[in-house]
Chain A
């Protein structure tokens, strides 16, 4: 099907013009991804006016390359200064940073760059070979299915924590409470906004993310004088590969599993690369032989989450190309560009513009392959900041945080949110409460609530609706098993133990 168009596609892709565009967009994506506060979505939106002047294939290539690079590159500040560049890295920030502190920054980012590329290539292959069929499956998802999926995500939050389940639950609830601020889309009325217009759209996510990760670190640097000795930066980029093959080979099943999870979540409209990396990280921990090191420098968790978030990026294009339904906020913009370029999304586009579509698919593969060499270069440069003493670096990080939070809607409200939530995160961490479940609560809170309420409206308030559709029932069963099994095991262990005492 796709093969007879490959020749024409190669002609469209292998030109100097394309090479230049992809190369410069890759650098742009690396920059945007590594600066906390600049998101991949923002970078895509900034590219749109430029794409007006390009042919269809270069226009899509520019966006695909920028986004793929940005999602990978957000791991760089996560590893070096413990601030995720985008939400997609939030799940495994502490792992990346723990590895950096242990002097293994090369290994950490080496895993990130290769797993990202592999996940991205996997997602692209799925897009190439099964887009129309998979898009039809995604159409079976209504609010009932999304409700269970979101609940699965929240369950992941509690399983993620290295802290006690109770503390993780409390942290999750704090996140859910923060998520409930703002305009309630189901009733159309503002909630907990205290009459502040800037809170109508809820607590802005990017400032929350930056604040909750960066501010506690900064407070510890300045107040507690918690100054670890500078970690050894990377000598030469090739050292990143040392021992990497072994790690990846050991975790080949993880790679396959997380690329699949990532692609599936990417395909579903309304769930993107951030949720993909959280869920695959949680699944990874659940099946790991060493769950205790998760959050404390687990290479296995990194492999999983990095593969998942880049594969989700490609998966999101499946419903976008076939039905014009965005799989995430980036494809929402891409759909607009497709229309401008006369590639109106729909099943027909695969027939009427087969050469162009095949060329776009090639671009997906190329962009993900480009991650490796360019990523290594970027890591080599960026890792030099580890030589800078922390007391010198910290004020600059604070500056970046302020600029990043401000840039979201060009107002001081983002900065206030960053500081308030940052101090909250500091207090939580000082008292042994994990921050990750709170972040997930903010991300997923609205998704759970909105799908719960809309489902109840559809079923006229009857809870039976949540189990009537086959996929919904399957997801419900999964959630039930995850919740019930640990309780059963715990009860059994207790019985056994109490039995032993009495014998």
Chain B
């Protein structure tokens, strides 16, 4: 047989199709399972994903390389997971931004593009003021906010439309206040926002508790309430927003393992089983505790409805602050 162009194309097609053919469950895992992280190396999502990758490697007996596909405010990495072949050989970590990116008009991608494996972490946002602020609790701050003119209070903690911005906006809405009451000062993330609070640049900051731990222990800032359904194990004294004010509101960043949509039920079940073991491994739990991350395990179907709720809450907050794309 001479190697003319048609033959080579046919050969190439056979190879490509052969590789892309859906894996049968008993073949899985067939070679390395790539774990895609949409955020840069060294961040929180990356650190937790690398820990999961290391343990998953032991569990599955195949290499689990962690690949950072950063850029596009998370769009690139989230798309890379969704676009991968649905054979279970590529999985990834989806974060809260999957719910806000499409509302912001950055992509068409939603949580529906994935096969949910399991939610392993969610860190609710909390609200902070300077340690020398004149309010002792959430109710005191709300009274001050009710009396103040619009934009007199300034708050920071994330970029415009970031999770901490939406947490503040959602809190104001839940308390029956207009979102314009507090001016949002965008920052590059929680740490610079909290520093600005300590430096006196803003009066309020929203961030997760581990992010604020150092400044709290330095006695420079104090938390007033946490936007969660129940008090946190690590901060038993801190009331939830509902306990403090009677208004129901919770929001926070979260991280979960997902596979592309269309993964066969058998492979998905095996993935859920493997990740389930990993997130209950004592080594993993110790790591998460040391690092200050909350742990939880919400697998498959429940994870999907969690993402749906999160998606709706984000859309509502984004519309309120005027960032939702019409």
Contact = CB atoms under 8 A, between A and B. Distances in A.
Given A323-B198, A324-B191, A200 B213 contact: no
Contact of A339 (B106, B220, B291): B291
Contacts of A183: 73, 159
Contacts of B160: 185-188
Interface string A214-244: 0000000000000000000000000000000
Contacts of A458: 154, 183, 185, 201-202
A273 B205 CA distance: 28
A201 interface: yes
A200 B69 contact: no
B43 to A, nearest CB: 8
B202 A322 contact: no
A409 B76 contact: yes
B218 A347 contact: yes
Nearest to B40: A45
Given A44-B42, A197-B75, A324-B214, A142 B106 contact: no
Contacts of B156: 454
Contacts, number: 157
Interface in A33-84: 41-42, 44-46, 48-49, 52
A140 B184 CA distance: 20
B72 to A, nearest CB: 4
Interface in A168-224: 183, 185-188, 190, 197-198, 200-201, 204
A142 B185 CA distance: 12
Interface in B45-66: 46-47, 50-51, 54
B47 A344 contact: no
A341 B47 CA distance: 14
Nearest to B187: A454
Contacts of B107: 197
A347 B154 contact: no
Given A42-B41, A197-B107, A409 B71 contact: yes
A200 B75 contact: yes
B71 A198 contact: yes
Interface residues of A, number: 56
A200 B71 contact: yes
Nearest to B159: A185
B183 A457 contact: yes
B76 to A, nearest CB: 6
Given A339-B291, A340-B291, A454-B186, A139 B198 contact: yes
B76 A197 contact: yes
B191 A347 contact: no
B129 to A, nearest CB: 16
B306 interface: no
**Residue from A186, A187, A324 with most neighbouring chain B CB atoms (10 Å):** A324
B285 interface: no
B194 to A, nearest CB: 8
Contact of B213 (A324, A326, A333): A324
A336 B42 contact: yes
B217 interface: yes
A140 B199 CA distance: 5
Contacts of A319: 195
Contacts of B290: 339-342
A189 B51 CA distance: 33
A96 B249 CA distance: 58
B274 interface: no
Give the interface centre of B44, B79, B195, B200 by most chain A CB atoms within 10 Å. B195
Contacts of B304: none
B25 interface: no
A428 B44 CA distance: 41
Contacts of B244: none
Nearest to B152: A460
Given A139-B198, A457-B154, A186 B186 contact: yes
A411 interface: yes
A113 interface: no
Contact of A45 (B41, B69, B185, B186): B41
A232 to B, nearest CB: 40
Given A197-B107, A200-B75, A188 B323 contact: yes
B70 interface: yes
A185 B76 CA distance: 18
Interface in B217-255: 217-218, 220
B126 to A, nearest CB: 16
B306 to A, nearest CB: 24
B202 A188 contact: no
B104 interface: yes
A345 interface: yes
B273 interface: no
A489 B231 CA distance: 66
Contacts of B214: 322-325, 344-346
A2 interface: no
Interface string B276-293: 000000000001001110
Interface in A338-387: 339-342, 344-348
B109 to A, nearest CB: 10
Nearest to A456: B185
B302 interface: no
A397 interface: no
B220 A139 contact: yes
B22 interface: no
A18 interface: no
A270 interface: yes
B161 interface: yes
B112 interface: no
Interface string B67-98: 11111110110010000000000000000000
A322 to B, nearest CB: 7
B188 interface: yes
A185 B186 contact: yes
Given A140-B199, A341-B290, 9 more contacts: A48-B42, A139-B195, A197-B72, A325-B191, A325-B195, A332-B191, A340-B290, A411-B69, A458-B154
5 contacts: A42-B41, A45-B46, A48-B47, A185-B186, A460-B151
Q: List the 7 shortest-distance A-B pairs measured between CB atoms, nearest first.
A: A324-B214, A45-B41, A188-B160, A142-B201, A333-B42, A188-B161, A200-B72
Interface of B: 40-44, 46-47, 50-51, 54, 67-73, 75-76, 79, 104, 106-107, 151, 154, 156, 159-162, 183-188, 191-192, 194-196, 198-202, 210, 213-215, 217-218, 220, 287, 290-292, 323
